[in-house]
A and B are shown apart, each in its own frame.
Chain A
């Protein structure tokens, strides 16, 4: 059978950074999409490769990449290219490198492959045990505990190291789902999941639709609807996967949502994966509530359901180290720990890196100072973005975590459609020269939302980006009208402490808010 696929000839894929956030795959399963007449030779060749290669389940063929390509062609530089494109589509944390650099300067052994002045190069060069370096797992477990205010404990023996959470998530899919099984994910979600969870595993994602009407929170009816949808599609649901704090929303799940989730997976007898990669970026007044907190509070610690709850973590966001490829799976199910450990052979963490980071994270003075300072800086940076947006008449979902804001630009759309969203996005990329992420790439069901990152550039660059945006908004008809009046309205609305609600700036009919 011939497989017709869009040729994956070399894109000018950005060389600077990994395309974590960029896949735009609307397909439910990783099979062939666009049909175009192809030469016989090409068809013959396609037969020789796997369907994984010839389909585009990696999700990276979308027009979404336009933004990335444009950025690469014309990257902003304060001095060399002040009119270039500002990258606001990359969820990186560049705010606290100085803290790590200063630690490295004071602790040269860690990077120099030494322990107490003695070279341990040989030991590290040979260390390929998939159980991971014990000191490193211990340090990771303690760091994860510290992030959760030491309210829960993590047993290093239940940690499986992986080359980034990309690897951790895929591995969990391999462990929990057969090809064709489904996981339910609340929308909007991180675009990379389409590749990470589905591509090579054959698993399917069925969305749990969340909407702005209640601040995109997960509701019981949304969960049930998603489950039924899966059944209608004849897909066996193996679990739910949430990102907490959420990407792209920047909000931490509420206790109510977590309870809902735990009850749901208990009643359906399925798994819950909580990707807590942003747990250390929580800067709001609220405390981060992990699903592990909820299991403890509900006294479910040694029950069946606790064995079906798995946490994924990584140092890519909290510590800003995506290049070092450090991820972890935490599970109370020893069969999963055992299987995932063996699977980690396909993506072990470099022993050189394990050693460096075990030294760093074992320094409790460092970790406590880092977490505190990181939160402070993130908070102040987020505030800066929010007020800059406000002065352009743009609001965002009230957030308390993450490296980005979920921005409401619905009032700037020509029509309430995804085509209009993409039109607006192209304007922002080409005219305003800001690379931001359109909500459709995150499978958002409502057009007009965009994810805008704030922690991957300098303060000055952020200010410039906001200025450009303001200029753009004011140049549009509705923008001029709205920015003045809504600025006032926003100020008064803010005084009512309404958490996680969306402030609507509507000049068109909208569905009234529900809670």
Chain B
């Protein structure tokens, strides 16, 4: 063991958790409409499979992009040799424009401040290497994407200190939660280098409010630290309230020529909006040219294949395509989300009201045997083994309240989603009495009529703390 590094022999990559049980079970017994209708349905994968046809049809009409040609001429050699870590200029231009378009052109992005990386996984790790030293900390609101434990901490030695968010206010980031996290870090003797948020949030599926963004900007200003906004899901916002990027807030607060402006960095990727995780396309955007310069050099460790840069620069430069895609993608996500919601409702299950993402943050607290994480894992195992749905337990996302689950809706066919929801309903009906689920269904319908945005509807059959706003 002394021959390998601690990184190789430890499990900070976080992949030894029992969480992987669900994955393994799915692999052993994957659902197939025809060949394996009783198999496990994968609802733990935040993939966007809804709009491939739009890309496929573009590819059919534009065969040059994949065939190394430009205006009839072969550019194979040029691409084969292109390894400049500054990236293909046409691709960076197209990405900058696409990011702008995603924000309704309310802000613009300078291609020279973009750094290309092999996916957001690489982008986030690179930013950590640039902004933090071994032992420094970043504050992250919980619940958060489980992958951050590996991406932000593993090889960088950086620590994550959670900003606790609760269902009491729809998991919104509050000023006091920020301060508490900062103090906790200090107690742990960790130097806080910044805050990292995912906006829209994974796993919540909600966009940050202007209030939250203002709190965050004020906080990082006061503490003289960084703010990373991972906006990987920015193109998946399907309903109001719309998407507000931290860049917009900086613009509104007229902070563009101040110090704090240089401490706000955005991460983006094409893995969720365009559904292309296999192509490994990520981006860091920073107003700090030292960070851009360093991250650019670091991108050597994860450059995007020139073959892929070329294909996607052609795709994204086609404004007809991007406009139509973004619009259609949103419509389809909205519909799919609605279907999930309705199906859950019919099973007496509620979720956090969301307007983005490829998943819902589902409230199954009423199905827990006890208000504990053990009970959550128990329930989760039942759902994996008996209901045969692979969903993600909230504890894997560091949620501090048991009973929440992330359920994906964009990575399967409509038919499969229906099957999954049916199974869930049958399970729930089997768990509690039929009458309870019917009365809950009524209560939910009436609660919905009260326009209470982002509140959690509690289905409690045990004592709970009263909601606060």
Chain A residues with CB under 8 Å of chain B are 7-10, 13-20, 45, 48-53, 58, 60, 92, 94, 97, 100-101, 104, 108, 111-113, 119, 121-122, 124-128, 163-164, 166-167, 170, 174-179, 181, 195-196, 200, 238, 269-271, 308, 316, 320-325, 333, 335-336, 339-340, 342-343, 345-353, 356
* CB pair A122 B49 closer than 8 Å: yes
* CB pair A346 B129 closer than 8 Å: no
CA distance A220 to B70 in the complex (A): 54
- Min CB–CB distance A346 → chain B (angstroms): 5
Interface string of B22-53 (1 = CB under 8 A from A): 00000000000000000000000001010010
B residues less than 8 Å from A122 (CB atoms): 49, 52, 56
Minimum-distance CB pairs A-B, first 9: A323-B306, A351-B278, A347-B302, A339-B8, A350-B305, A18-B83, A53-B294, A323-B82, A127-B278
CA distance A50 to B81 in the complex (A): 32
Instruction: Report if B453 contacts A (CB, 8 A).
Output: no
Instruction: Report if B3 contacts A (CB, 8 A).
Output: yes
* CB pair A352 B76 closer than 8 Å: no
Instruction: Report if B125 contacts A (CB, 8 A).
Output: yes
- Min CB–CB distance A418 → chain B (angstroms): 25
19 pairs from A and B in contact (CB 8 Å cutoff):
A14-B84, A17-B82, A48-B226, A51-B133, A97-B77, A100-B76, A121-B59, A125-B52, A175-B4, A176-B4, A178-B5, A181-B5, A324-B306, A325-B304, A333-B4, A346-B122, A346-B151, A350-B279, A351-B280
* CB pair A175 B81 closer than 8 Å: no
Select one of B5, B154, B278 contacting A125, CB under 8 A: B278
- Min CB–CB distance A44 → chain B (angstroms): 8
Instruction: Report if B110 contacts A (CB, 8 A).
Output: no
A residues less than 8 Å from B262 (CB atoms): 45
Interface string of B373-410 (1 = CB under 8 A from A): 00000000000000000000000000000000000000
Select one of A50, A101, A126, A269 contacting B278, CB under 8 A: A126
Instruction: Report if B247 contacts A (CB, 8 A).
Output: no
Instruction: Report if B301 contacts A (CB, 8 A).
Output: yes
Select one of B55, B67, B129 contacting A112, CB under 8 A: B67
Select one of B15, B225, B278, B305 contacting A124, CB under 8 A: B278
Complex: chain B residue closest to A200, CB-CB: B129
Also in contact, A125 and B84, with CB within 8 A (given A48-B224, A352-B307): no
* CB pair B307 A121 closer than 8 Å: no
* CB pair A346 B9 closer than 8 Å: no
Please tell me the number of chain B residues within 8 Å of chain A, measured between CB atoms: 77
Complex: chain A residue closest to B85, CB-CB: A18
* CB pair B305 A336 closer than 8 Å: no
CA distance A507 to B192 in the complex (A): 63
Chain B residues with CB under 8 Å of chain A are 3-9, 13, 15, 47, 49, 52, 55-56, 59, 63, 66-68, 74, 76-77, 79-86, 89, 118-119, 121-122, 125, 129-134, 136, 150-151, 154-155, 193, 224-226, 262-263, 271, 275-280, 289-291, 293-294, 297-298, 300-308, 311
Complex: chain A residue closest to B155, CB-CB: A174
Given contact pairs A53-B294, A58-B298, enumerate 9 new A-B contacts (beta carbons under 8 Å). Answer: A10-B293, A15-B84, A45-B262, A50-B133, A100-B76, A174-B155, A181-B5, A320-B81, A353-B307
* CB pair B289 A9 closer than 8 Å: yes
Complex: chain B residue closest to A122, CB-CB: B52
* CB pair B307 A48 closer than 8 Å: no
* CB pair B83 A325 closer than 8 Å: yes
* CB pair B77 A94 closer than 8 Å: yes
* CB pair B81 A119 closer than 8 Å: no
Select the residue from A50, A58, A128, A342 with max chain B CB neighbours within 10 A: A50
Select one of B3, B118, B308 contacting A176, CB under 8 A: B3
* CB pair A17 B84 closer than 8 Å: yes
A residues less than 8 Å from B306 (CB atoms): 323-325
Also in contact, A111 and B300, with CB within 8 A (given A127-B278, A339-B8): no
B residues less than 8 Å from A124 (CB atoms): 278
CA distance A128 to B79 in the complex (A): 22
Complex: chain A residue closest to B14, CB-CB: A342
